[in-house]
Amino acid sequence: MKRKLLGKADLIIIVLLFAIAVVLLLPRFFSDDKLTAVISQNGETVKTIDLSAVTESYEIKLDGAVILVEKNAVSFKSAECPDRLCVKCGRLTHAGDTAVCVPTRTVITVSGSEKTVDVISY
């Protein structure tokens, strides 16, 4: 007697779990939050940027780091640190995203509107 790898009940459970995951992730990708990036160095705020108001990409040059600001995104373009982990973090596009360059003591934090709910605040 041959046994099927997946039965009807197994497929129904898989489809239901996938549907639940999609429903839970949709607000993250289709949110219309106003994103704000806060760039600080040595514990002091250097610049606060409304990312949704950016029309053209531009760079901010700080001691040891270059930050690229784009519409609804911000990232480290280059840094003078040896491992460049901050550059490898990529683009910060969602509220709560953070990138840190430890040798240059530079922190980029993206925040959104008050309606943003994440796992920690929930």
Taking 70 as the threshold, does the pLDDT of residue 60 lie above it? yes
* Distance in angstroms between the alpha carbons of the first and the last residue of the chain: 50
Number of domains in the chain: 1
Report, as an integer, the average pLDDT of 71-100.
90
Q: Which CATH number does the domain housing residue 70 bear?
A: 2.60.320.10
Question: pLDDT value at position 120?
Answer: 56
11 domain-assigned: no
Taking 90 as the threshold, does the pLDDT of residue 115 lie above it? no
78 domain-assigned: yes
Enclosing domain of residue 103: 36-111
Report, as an integer, the average pLDDT of 56-62.
93
Q: What percentage of the chain has pLDDT greater than the value 70?
A: 84
5 domain-assigned: no
50 domain-assigned: yes
Q: What percentage of the chain has pLDDT greater than the value 90?
A: 50
105 domain-assigned: yes
